[in-house]
Amino acid sequence: MSRSKPTKGKANPSLYWSLTQWISAAIVVSAGLEFEISRRIVEQINHVMLKEEGTEALEDYSKTLQKAWREKPDQTLTSLLDSTFSTSHVTPVLINGANVSSPTKTRTELSDAEITEIRKTLLNDEDQFIVGRDTGLGLAAAAQQLTLEANGQNKQVQLVVVLRWPLLKSLRELQWFEFQSRAITLIITLLASGLLLYALLEPLRRLNQKTRELTSEQLPDARVDADGAPREIHELITSYNDSLDRLNTEYERQQLFASTVSHEFKTPLTVIRGYIESILIRSTNLTEREASKLETAKQEVDRLNQLVSDLLDLSRYDHNTLKLRNEPFSPHAELSTTANHLRDMHPDRVSAHISEDIQALMASGDAGRYAQIIRNLTENALKYSPADTKVEIRGFRRENTIVAEVADQGPGIAPEHQTRIFERFYRIDEHRTLTQKSSSGLGLAIVKSLADSMGATVGVHSTVGHGSTFWLAIGIISPANNAP
């Protein structure tokens, strides 16, 4: 079982960020609407309260001014206002034609120009009441015509009261404080929502991580704990775990089948090969054609025998029963011997360049399996490169490792295949047309299994159209002359 291939194309948005954005937008819109409604309600309440306050102030000042005027009718309007003005929240103003009179104490706070502006605005207002004055001390203003009577003489003036209402200021300050509080609450809510979403989606992240790392060898350990997950996510994880159990059962059956078949095939194939060799050696009356056919049959039996051996090795590797020696050996000696053997078999195609710098170096592992890896890599290179090209075996030191390379001049391997060619039964369709020899797709999987079992690493460097270089790196333990 191999890992799933990532899908190319435009990346899908993160569920976490999508939910966070939608929830944040909903909270912001809701808070904005709530604040706007609250602001309008407060403004209406303020308007009604101010209007009542203004009406009451007009009535009170009308009575007070008329009484003071009757007591002293020869005084000026300014004196009249000074005699009745207190430091309360209402400032009275009397307008007689073009003359504007206001209490002396408020001259520095409420200029004639501001009073004129207030008067002009009041003249354009039907109910002679305005709210929201920001000039001077005025927050609101109301006006009415006033008749001052004394000694049978009447004096027509316009009374304007400018409300200096500290309570309204406090209300507006509270309104601003409420806005700040709502903004802070909104930020805290957004952060809390983000953290809550992050916690709720944690099981999905674990599921995604397990899925990314999923391989056939890790099926039993790939289960995800669904405790504490929301119901919908819990159901998803439960389905995933059930699927893993089914896959693991099927995979174990497949392994058992491969192991059983391999064991059952091993003995019959050995017997068949022995009979073929016996016939070829002892029979002197075989025709050339008959001998050739028997030789072909022997080669096919050898191929099947190798396939069975590979299946057995992989089965043992899966069950951690693959027995490899772990003893010091000389990679230089194994590389040299294997390279010489392969050169004898393919004198026109195989060459070797093994550095003498590694001759005295030792590694720990199974020498026979190390040689098998080199043979597999070389035979794979010979199979998938043109018949008139060379395959080179190299050996050299790189830091604390001994590196063996097998380089060919074949078609190269595309990047999307390089991460998968060590998987079992994985074959590149474009390469099948380059050789008439059949392939089981197990050669590189065996190489990877053997390398992992010895603590070595294996990989490939390749460019399409410029060949491939497979490499094997194994750690250095000591010089050869110190080996036991």
pLDDT tens for the 484 residues of the chain, in order:
444 444 444 445 566 666 767 777 777 777 777 777 777 777 777 777 777 877 888 888 888 888 888 888 888 888 888 888 876 678 888 888 778 888 887 766 667 777 777 777 777 766 666 666 554 445 677 888 888 887 777 888 888 888 765 555 666 676 677 777 777 877 887 787 777 777 777 777 777 777 776 666 666 667 777 776 677 777 787 888 888 888 877 777 766 766 676 667 777 878 888 888 888 887 778 888 888 888 888 877 877 777 777 777 777 776 676 778 889 999 999 999 999 999 988 989 999 999 999 999 999 999 988 999 999 899 889 988 888 899 999 999 998 999 999 999 988 888 888 888 888 777 776 555 555 555 566 788 889 988 988 899 999 999 888 899 999 999 998 654 444 4
Residue 136 has what pLDDT?
44
Which whole-number Å values give the CA distances from 409 to 380, 384, 457, in the listed order?
A: 12, 9, 23
Pairing type for strands 153-163 and 140-150 reads antiparallel
Q: Could you tell me which CATH number the domain at 231-318 has?
A: 1.10.287.130
Gap between the Cα atoms of 69 and 81, Å rounded: 10
Residue 209 has what pLDDT?
75
Q: How many helices (H) and strands (E) does the chain have?
A: 12, 12
Residue 349 has what pLDDT?
93
Residue 440 has what pLDDT?
63
Beta bridge partners of 363: 329, 476
Residue 217 has what pLDDT?
62
Which ranges of 12-123 does DSSP label H, i.e. alpha helix?
A: 15-71, 77-84, 112-123
| Fold adopted by 21-172 | Beta-Lactamase (3.30.450)
Chain position carrying tokens 């400018």: 162
User: How deeply is 472 buried, as exposed, middle or buried, from its count of CB atoms within 10 A (0-12, 13-18, 19+)?
Assistant: buried
DSSP secondary structure, 263-288, as one string: HHHHHHHHHHHHHHHHHHHH-SS--H
Chain position carrying tokens 């802070």: 184
Residues 6+ apart with CB under 8 A from 479: 360, 361, 362
DSSP state of 223: -
Gap between the Cα atoms of 107 and 104, Å rounded: 5
Residue 120 has what pLDDT?
76
Residue 431 has what pLDDT?
56
DSSP secondary structure, 356-412, as one string: GGGTTEEEEE-HHHHHHHHHHHHHHHHHTS-TTS-EEEEEEEETTEEEEEEE--SS-
How far separated are the first and last CA of the chain, in Å rounded? Answer: 42
Gap between the Cα atoms of 176 and 184, Å rounded: 12
Question: CATH homologous superfamily for 327-482?
Answer: Histidine kinase-like ATPase, C-terminal domain (3.30.565.10)
Sequence ranges of the domains in the chain: 21-172, 231-318, 327-482
User: How deeply is 422 buried, as exposed, middle or buried, from its count of CB atoms within 10 A (0-12, 13-18, 19+)?
Assistant: buried
Residue 125 has what pLDDT?
67
Residues 6+ apart with CB under 8 A from 199: none
Residue 5 has what pLDDT?
44
